[in-house]
Structure 1
Amino acid sequence: MKDIKILIMGKNKHYIDAIISSVAKLTNNINFADNAENAFIELSNLSYDFFITDLSPFNKEYTISCFTDAFSQTDLIIVSSTPSYIEESYALKGGAKEYIDIKNGIETLHKTLADLHKNKKDKEKLKENLLNTYMMASNNDSYNKMLLQCEKVAKSKANVLLIGESGTGKEVAARYIHLCSNRSANNFTAVNCSSFTESLLESELFGYEQGSFTGAVKSKQGKFELADNGTLFLDEVGEINLSTQVKLLRVLETKKVERLGSNKEKLIDFRLISATNKDLTNEVLANNFREDFFYRISSIVIRVPSLRERKEDLNELIKFLLKKSQKENEIVINYIEPEAEKFLHSYDYPGNIRELKSIIDRMVVLSNDGVITKDGIPIMFDIRKKSNKLTDDIQDFTSYDKVITLQDFKNKAESEYLQWVLDQTGGNVAEASRQLSISSRQLFNKINKYDLKK
């Protein structure tokens, strides 16, 4: 760890000597500044791992938060000869990594810095692994801009709303924000809001006490509590109904949560990231989504580009996912037939990366003796080609005996198309809803509405 670089500021020779005595066990790269102005000039010109100082450089105009925003790559260590709880709270809440009593903590300062440095390196490695695991490295300007936005907002406490089509990787982006934040050592807690009914979603989020309802044989922590000091990710947030939105809004405003069946509130601290493939502004105008809740969850809005907008990444993504699928399925691929390869590079992937992965997995599993053939091309490709015929059939208005209302026509077209998709997917509601880009709950409602057969 001799490459660690440290800047120390202060005029008290006694405490500087004590600091040097400790950190010299860690590194020889130590520089000094006698005042705040010179320290900030030095930090602007050179990259330092740690800046060790007392609180003298900071005031109402230039807070610790200002420093951590300006020099995010440098960890701030505050030392004090007269430590107090108020000082410590101010320092740590502002973003300092440590608050150390000179009299009692200096001897172990080098160990503290070594641990912090190791944690930072581990975090950088995790970040790199995340980029590699999900092939987030990109040649596309829009996608790289999105990654930079994620890195920037990670340093704030603002609630983030990720928008974009289904399958673009919004949860991966949420995990990336969490990993780049100062909450990365704590839980990333994800909830898919479309997977639960109203009552189940509330019990999932708030938790419950034993006996609070039938089946509550023991108490359970909710996702809010599990996300304490970490990040809560609400996927498909547009599926939350209005009454539940009211309850979530109160939690966001008070930072307090009360389990179902309890009368005790618990103070929690979490960072909220939400995601949706819906246009929530239109949902607000249609009174399907609360305006106050929308503004609360969308302090920062980040759009995740579709795969169609990342054509320059397609070839690398195919290679990456093909390699990953071979490993997961323990199948070696030696050759891809031209027709199958042409399909992979020409298909427009309405389901984005999720669909690309699904298609590649299918091709790998259905390969013959290490060869991917045209037989691996998914049935949905044929379905989409045939869908033009379905549209033509619906547009054959001459088959109607009389004019029907526009709503009746919409219902007829929707019911016929949904039944057709269900037939093509063998009645698999989960698969059909994925291909239709709607939730399973929405599809179930339409199945009941039109009395469709699964």
Structure 2
Amino acid sequence: MSKRGLRVLVVDDEQDYCNVMKVILTAKGHHTDVASTGAAALSLMEQGGYDLVISDLMMPEMDGRQLLHEIKSLYPGTEVIMMTAYGSIENAVEAMRDGAYSYVTKGGNPEELIREIGKLQDMLSLKLENQLLKEKVSVVDAMLESNNPAFQGTLSIARKAAVSDSNILILGESGTGKEVFARYIHQNSSRSKRQFMDLNCHAIAETVLESELFGHEKGSFTGALNKRIGRIEAADQGTLFLDEIGDIPLSMQAKLLKTIENKKIYRMGGNEEIEVDFRLVTATNKDLELEIEEGRFREDFYYRISTITINIPPLRKRKEDLPLLIDYFFKRSQNEMKKPIRKIDSHVTDFLLTYHYPGNIRELKNIIERLVVLSENGIVDTDSLPVSGREDKRKQAVVLDRGLREIRKEAEREYIQSMLLKNNNNMSRTAEMLGITRRQLFNKIAEYQLDK
């Protein structure tokens, strides 16, 4: 894994020294800010997370050790390097006992500091790599924890399906966590120690999709400078997850059907027959039976990929899981952004628990990330809500003055509009999801003067 530039904050009461350090560290690829006092440093840290703080030990008002204590208390994931004069080595050693990562001599060769930052980069890169591996498991665990009977039943089907080697089709609205389910199936299968290869097939040109799936030989087409192993071959002995399977062209469906039946592939431009053994899991938010009727999806391919079908309920039908998911995403966002949250406005909590989430779990995650990013002084308030959330709060003040029928009509209008938008104005799919006929949907659109 290549080293990434760090977010660095330099703290020193000598402004000229801060400016010099900013030039040096920026040239090394680090995003660098400066502060001339400990209080100013803490104020900057409230606005965004830093990987590293480089602080002078001796400063007026708040010295380096006091600043270190504050940082380790408020932002334990941020590392601190102390800069010390020649006569203060003992104090620097004490600072390391208090949690500083290292110390360097101020005024010495800046390469000493650069080396220490390089060591820290190596450590953080390894830490990030391990964290990403663990996070794939922890995200699955957290997002599949449920108090909803229907969702628990879906999980039970997934566990039973996992121990077989049957092809699995996962259905659900966009943002419901279909990839999470696919990883859960892989983790609970006999192939869990092998590779999990995934590919989102949405909006990929056919030639690119073929190369991604089957690989290619050197020189097989313009730009093919080297041999490439495709996802199918890389998934040998493991699991291949193809998301948005409803978007792949008919010709590619035929090639995949042949691969599923024969368990053999040819790389693009190659003559060598390669045997593959993989477990196929696919997912889509499309109505594949409707796609078959309209000639966009092969019926034989559909039956091959859907030996077992798993339907994931939308988030609005498992509201009892919202407290668990909200708590998880707040903790995750705080850790990732290094922005601790001390208080959440009660109106924000009410909105998060009552909103209908047309974008499902993905939308919930994005809203909470927004709330954490825009929080100030550890407080999440209504000003950080999306516009719809702030409007909902204003509407609460006038609800009592309006009739129940009017409120219901407005809610129905907004919901139908959101479903039309979600389904790209596909009338058949929208009507099916709403549980009404196409004619009834047309009547509603006319009644509410909706754009479609």
Per the shorter chain, which TM-score range? Answer: 0.5 to 0.7
TM-score w.r.t. the length of structure 2 is 0.56
Residue 128 (structure 1) shift: 11
Tell me the amino acid that sits aligned with residue 182 of structure 2.
A
Partners of 1:346 and 1:224 lie apart in 2 by: 42
Residue pair 1:131, 1:137 contacting (<8 A) in 2 also = no
Residues 276 and 298 of structure 1, relative CA distance in 2, 3 Å threshold: same
Which residue of structure 2 lines up, in the alignment, with residue 135 of structure 1? 143
Does residue 245 of structure 1 match 2:253? Answer: yes
Which residue of structure 2 lines up, in the alignment, with residue 18 of structure 1? none
Ranges of 4+ aligned residues in structure 1 off by more than 2 Å: 126-135, 379-385, 435-438
Q: 1:364 aligns with which of 361, 372, 385?
A: 372
TM-score w.r.t. the length of structure 1 is 0.56
Residue 134 (structure 1) shift: 3.3
Which residue of structure 2 lines up, in the alignment, with residue 156 of structure 1? 164
Which residue of structure 1 lines up, in the alignment, with residue 318 of structure 2? 310
Residue 135 (structure 1) shift: 2.9
1:121-170 CA-to-partner distances (Å, cap 9, x unmatched) read xxxxx899547653311101111111111110111111000000111111
Tell me the amino acid that sits aligned with residue 205 of structure 1.
L
Residues 132 and 280 of structure 1, relative CA distance in 2, 3 Å threshold: closer
Residue pair 2:142, 2:325 contacting (<8 A) in 1 also = no
Which residue of structure 2 lines up, in the alignment, with residue 185 of structure 1? 193
Structure 1 SS opposite 2:280: strand
- The 5 A counterparts of 1:117-132 are 129-130=137-138
Does residue 335 of structure 1 match 2:343? Answer: yes
Tell me the amino acid that sits aligned with residue 182 of structure 1.
S
Does residue 218 of structure 1 match 2:249? Answer: no
Which residue of structure 2 lines up, in the alignment, with residue 264 of structure 1? 272
Residue pair 1:127, 1:179 contacting (<8 A) in 2 also = no
Which ranges of structure 1 fall in alignment gaps of 5 or more residues? 1-125, 386-416, 422-434, 439-454
CA RMSD in angstroms, aligned pairs only: 2.8
Partners of 2:356 and 2:174 lie apart in 1 by: 14
Residue pair 2:140, 2:181 contacting (<8 A) in 1 also = no
Residue 320 (structure 1) shift: 1.2
- The 5 A counterparts of 1:52-63 are none
Residue pair 1:206, 1:260 contacting (<8 A) in 2 also = yes
Residue 263 (structure 1) shift: 1.2
Partners of 1:205 and 1:266 lie apart in 2 by: 13
Does residue 166 of structure 1 match 2:174? Answer: yes
Partners of 1:239 and 1:261 lie apart in 2 by: 25
> How many aligned positions are there?
270
Tell me the amino acid that sits aligned with residue 314 of structure 2.
S
Percent identity, please. 50
Partners of 2:154 and 2:272 lie apart in 1 by: 40
Partners of 1:197 and 1:147 lie apart in 2 by: 34
Q: 1:198 aligns with which of 190, 206, 214?
A: 206
Partners of 1:218 and 1:129 lie apart in 2 by: 33
Residue 360 (structure 1) shift: 0.2
Residue pair 1:205, 1:222 contacting (<8 A) in 2 also = yes
Partners of 1:365 and 1:285 lie apart in 2 by: 46
Residues 268 and 308 of structure 1, relative CA distance in 2, 3 Å threshold: same
Residue pair 2:322, 2:353 contacting (<8 A) in 1 also = yes
Does residue 324 of structure 1 match 2:353? Answer: no
Structure 1 SS opposite 2:274: strand
1:42-78 CA-to-partner distances (Å, cap 9, x unmatched) read xxxxxxxxxxxxxxxxxxxxxxxxxxxxxxxxxxxxx
Residue pair 2:140, 2:183 contacting (<8 A) in 1 also = no
Tell me the amino acid that sits aligned with residue 155 of structure 1.
V
Tell me the amino acid that sits aligned with residue 241 of structure 2.
F
Structure 2 SS opposite 1:208: coil
Residue pair 1:193, 1:201 contacting (<8 A) in 2 also = yes
Does residue 283 of structure 1 match 2:271? Answer: no
Tell me the amino acid that sits aligned with residue 174 of structure 2.
S
1:160-216 CA-to-partner distances (Å, cap 9, x unmatched) read 000001111111111011011000010000000004111111110000000000110
Residue 338 (structure 1) shift: 2.3
Partners of 1:151 and 1:376 lie apart in 2 by: 39
Residues 299 and 127 of structure 1, relative CA distance in 2, 3 Å threshold: farther
Partners of 1:301 and 1:133 lie apart in 2 by: 21
Partners of 2:423 and 2:356 lie apart in 1 by: 15
Residue pair 1:130, 1:176 contacting (<8 A) in 2 also = no
Structure 1 SS opposite 2:193: coil
Which ranges of structure 2 fall in alignment gaps of 5 or more residues? 1-133, 394-416, 425-452
Partners of 1:171 and 1:214 lie apart in 2 by: 33
Tell me the amino acid that sits aligned with residue 198 of structure 1.
E
1:2-33 CA-to-partner distances (Å, cap 9, x unmatched) read xxxxxxxxxxxxxxxxxxxxxxxxxxxxxxxx
Tell me the amino acid that sits aligned with residue 157 of structure 1.
D
Residue pair 1:166, 1:437 contacting (<8 A) in 2 also = no
